[in-house]
Structure 1
Amino acid sequence: MSGAWSLHFLGVGNAAAAARLGSASGVFERDGSPLLMIDCGEYALDAYLARYGAHPAALFVTHVHMDHVGGLERLFTLAWFAAAQTGPVRLYVPAPLVPHLQARVADYPGVLAEGGVNFWDAFQLIPVSRGFWHQEVWFDVFPVRHHRPDTAFGLRLPASALWSGDTRPIPETIAHFADADELIAHDCSLRGNPSHTGVDDLEREYPQALRARMVLYHYGSAADGEALAARGHRVARPGLTLPLAPPRRDGDQG
């Protein structure tokens, strides 16, 4: 597929580090323009507005922890009052997350003080399962290991890049979905826990061939990022943009 493709990191921090490192979020870019934002924590939306000068037109949600969806209420306001010019924001949400997202951000009565507006009026909510088309590009969606089953998901742009989302190690899943030399953006902190990958987990669970394609994000501090880099890992910083191979467009996606 023609054009110059890239992955831009709006933020790389975990929930505790988001104020300093930005909420973990990325944007797939085509020819320097934003195609699809991944997650919308409060600080991620700030970074998006600063880089692109307008709110996102399309967004994928990996899971509904507030450091990943805490910017949606503000995005509602921006999108609602600009809807006549921009239309609704396309919001791609894995189907099992829709009830959680509704309860988390959309169920409060009176989204505007004046009334007469539903939260979803500013969005085009598109539930997805194994993947979706956006701007004639196919994206794969897959479950990851973050708390309960079917509450967190990753995203793949075939032959281009994979975004793990918040997860414990999932070597078999990554090997399956990153089978075309994709760049792999992977959750990794200096120390792991029951919901996130630590560097010891990463080095134990993934073969070197996969680790060589990884760039790590969702860590706890700038010092942790330096420590990860000192162990030989490529580490994403806020504002990093990485070139990508053009994605594959095929008819047998999945």
Structure 2
Amino acid sequence: MSWHLHFLGTGAAHAVELGSSSAVLERDGKPMLLIDCGPDTLDRYYAAYAEPPRNVYITHTHMDHVGGLERLFTRVWFDEALRGKTRVFAHAALVPWLQTRVADYPGVLAEGGVNYWEAFRLVPCSRGFWLDGFWFDVFATRHHRPGTSFGLALHGSFAFTGDTRPIPEVLAQYADGEALIAHDCGLVGNPSHTGIDDIEREYDEGMRARLVLYHYGSKADGEALSARGYRIARAGQRVALVDPSPLRADAG
């Protein structure tokens, strides 16, 4: 069995030329889970897989991470084979924000008579969720207000932080061993995002060696991060993952 993390886009909100930050977990070359769905994510997903995603995980509700959900609604609603079957996984604390920012606009269809969530299978979670027999851990990150941003991990294989400040103690729990860490990082940090100086201050050498940095501010910023010896994600790149480890006793 082979596992890859396919980065569809790697840019910060203003870095439109790099694409909205999102990734697809692939198993044996097939898409298993889309992580985040920004304004241009579906175009990139269709280009790669020629079909809409069947499973989506949302890290938080800033529009560069959820702006494509309205278009996904239209795509699956008008296909009876897909309607009500696309799963949207999100921490329970995000459900009110998803409802407010995405689902509650009057007239989801001009003809009326349709509720937004009828197009999907919304799967709220807290500690994590099951998908195709695998347990995915969900963990809080540091991005704006507490309780509004959550990363994702597959034990022993990878962790995807979403937008965050440094969280070394969290990643020590959820991304131990050889697990790859896809981490928010720009050339310069701010109160809501990690900068390279934060990485070098907060993470030890062993953890830094497993980082793949994304959500940077420009192509030039990415090259500057690379020049400092860090691996950066590039749009369209597939990064090989180690196979998931057996479930921990507390999983599920």
Asked if TM exceeds 0.5, the reply is yes
The CA distance in 2 between the partners of 1:60 and 1:180, in whole Å, is: 24
Aligned pairs (5 A) from 1:174-189: 174-189=171-186
The CA distance in 1 between the partners of 2:169 and 2:12, in whole Å, is: 24
The CA distance in 1 between the partners of 2:151 and 2:136, in whole Å, is: 10
In the alignment, structure 1 residue 13 sits paired with structure 2 residue 11: yes
Aligned pairs (5 A) from 1:54-133: 54-85=51-82, 87-133=84-130
The CA distance in 2 between the partners of 1:41 and 1:68, in whole Å, is: 4
- Distance change (3 Å), C-alpha of 1:85 and 1:219: closer
Matched residue type, 2:155: P
Q: Structure 2 length as normaliser, TM-score?
A: 0.97
In the alignment, structure 1 residue 238 sits paired with structure 2 residue 232: no
In the alignment, structure 1 residue 45 sits paired with structure 2 residue 42: yes
The CA distance in 2 between the partners of 1:156 and 1:180, in whole Å, is: 13
The CA distance in 1 between the partners of 2:148 and 2:248, in whole Å, is: 28
Matched residue type, 1:233: Y
After the TM superposition, list the runs of 4 or more consecutive aligned residues in structure 1 that deviate by more than 3 angstroms: none
Q: CA deviation at 1:175?
A: 1.1
The CA distance in 2 between the partners of 1:243 and 1:64, in whole Å, is: 28
When structure 1 is superposed on structure 2, of 211-220 and 43-52 the one drifting more is 43-52
Matched residue type, 2:9: G
Q: CA deviation at 1:249?
A: 3.8
Taking only the aligned residue pairs, the percentage that are identical comes to 61
Gaps of 5+ in 1: none
Are the equivalent residues in 2 in contact too, given 1:137–1:249 (CA < 8 A)? no
Number of aligned residues: 251
- Distance change (3 Å), C-alpha of 1:187 and 1:85: closer
Gaps of 5+ in 2: none
Q: Secondary structure at the match of 1:150?
A: coil
Q: Secondary structure at the match of 2:79?
A: helix
* Residue 148 (structure 1) aligned to one of 145, 148, 151: 145
Are the equivalent residues in 2 in contact too, given 1:62–1:154 (CA < 8 A)? yes
**Other-structure match for 1:137:** 134
Are the equivalent residues in 2 in contact too, given 1:138–1:249 (CA < 8 A)? no
The CA distance in 2 between the partners of 1:173 and 1:163, in whole Å, is: 12
The CA distance in 2 between the partners of 1:199 and 1:168, in whole Å, is: 11
Q: Quote the RMSD (CA, aligned, Å).
A: 1.1
Matched residue type, 1:225: G
The CA distance in 1 between the partners of 2:73 and 2:47, in whole Å, is: 18
Q: Structure 1 length as normaliser, TM-score?
A: 0.96
Are the equivalent residues in 1 in contact too, given 2:83–2:119 (CA < 8 A)? no
Matched residue type, 1:126: V
In the alignment, structure 1 residue 220 sits paired with structure 2 residue 217: yes
The CA distance in 2 between the partners of 1:123 and 1:241, in whole Å, is: 28
**Other-structure match for 1:4:** 2
Matched residue type, 2:3: W
Q: Deviations over 1:162-190 (max 9, x none)?
A: 10110000111111111132000000000
Q: CA deviation at 1:83?
A: 3.2
